[in-house]
Amino acid sequence: MPLPRSRVLAPACAYVVLATADTFLAASPSASRHRWRWLTKPLLMPALSAAFTAAAADPAREPVSELAMDAPLLQRGTSAAQALSWLGDVSLMGKSEPAFLAGLGSFFGAHVAYVGAFASAGRPVTDTSHLGGVKAALALMATVGPAMGYLAGRQSPKLRGPVMAYAGILSAMYASSTRLDPSIPEPARRTVGLGTTLFLASDFTLGVRRFAMKNPGVLSDGLVMATYTAGQGLIAAGVAQAVRSRR
C-alpha cells in the first residue's frame, strides 16, 4: 500500500515554516527574538532531511521496498550534505573564530558530499558540451576566492587559507550541479541548478557581511538565511525528483 502524501507534506511544510521563521528572526533587530534561533536554526536540516527522504522514496506512488531502501549515491550524498550542513548551522551560531572555522569545515564537508552526489549522476567526462556552469565556476574561483581570502586574512591570518579552500569547493559544487546527466528530467536539473545558485549567493553574502562590512545590518543576515534555506530546499526537491526518475 502506498504511503500517505502527508509523509512528504508534513516535514516539507515544517521546513518552510522553520525557514521563514528563522529568516525573520535573523533579520530582526531584537536581541530577545534572536535567542529563538537556538530553536529554529538547529531544526532546519532535520526537517528538510525528513522531507527529502520521504520525497525521494515517492511514498504517494511506491510501496516501501528493498529498492527504496537501497538509495543511490545521488541520494546518499545529498543526505550526507544535509547532515554536515546541520553541523555547520549549529557551529555558526557561535560568534568566535573557532566556531566560524568549525562551521566552515562542516560546510566544506557538505560541499564535498554534494560534489560526489552530483558527479555520480553527471555527464560523462568525455562530454564537453554544456560547460557554461564550469567556466562560470572557474571564473568565480579565480576572482572571488582570492578576494575573499585577502579580506579574511586582514581580519585574521588563520582564516585566509580556509576561506580560499572553501571558495574552491563551493565553486566545484556549483560546477558539478550544472553537469547532471541529460537523462534526468530537465525540471529536476533546473531546480538543482537554481538551488546551488542560491547557496552560492548565500555564502557570498555571508562572506561580504563578515569580511567586508564594518557594521553589517541584521537585514543582511536575513538575506543570508533566505537564500540559504531556499537553496537547500530546492536542491533537495530537485535531487528527490532526479532519484525518482532514475529509479
Range of the domain at 236: 72-246
Kindly list the distances between the CA atom of residue 220 and the CA atoms of 21, 23, 88, 224, in Å, as whole numbers in the listed order: 16, 10, 19, 6
Q: What is the mean pLDDT of residues 107-134?
A: 92
Q: Is 80 exceeded by the pLDDT of residue 239? A: yes
Tell me if 153 is assigned to some domain. Answer: yes
The amino acid present at 159, given as its one-letter code, is L
pLDDT value of residue 6? 67
- In the block, which residue shows the cell 500500500? 1
pLDDT value of residue 2? 46
Tell me if 194 is assigned to some domain. Answer: yes
pLDDT value of residue 58? 57
Tell me if 212 is assigned to some domain. Answer: yes
For 75-100, how does the pLDDT look when each residue is reduced to its tens digit (9 = 90+)? 999 999 999 999 999 999 998 999 99
Q: How confident is the prediction for the chain on average, in pLDDT? A: 90
Residue 5 DSSP class:
T
For 1-36, how does the pLDDT look when each residue is reduced to its tens digit (9 = 90+)? 344 566 788 899 999 999 999 999 999 988 888 899
First to last CA, the chain: 18
pLDDT value of residue 247? 64
Q: What is the distance between the alpha carbons of residues 229 and 225, in angstroms, rounded to a whole number?
A: 6
Tell me if 52 is assigned to some domain. Answer: no
Of 151, 69, 83, 153, residue with least CA distance to 117: 83
Q: What is the distance between the alpha carbons of residues 48 and 228, in angstroms, rounded to a whole number?
A: 12
For 29-72, how does the pLDDT look when each residue is reduced to its tens digit (9 = 90+)? 888 888 999 999 999 999 999 999 999 985 545 444 333 333 58
Q: Is 80 exceeded by the pLDDT of residue 218? A: yes
pLDDT value of residue 184? 92
Name which residue leads in pLDDT, 201 or 216. 201
Looking at the structure of the chain, the number of domains it has is: 1
Tell me if 131 is assigned to some domain. Answer: yes
pLDDT value of residue 130? 82
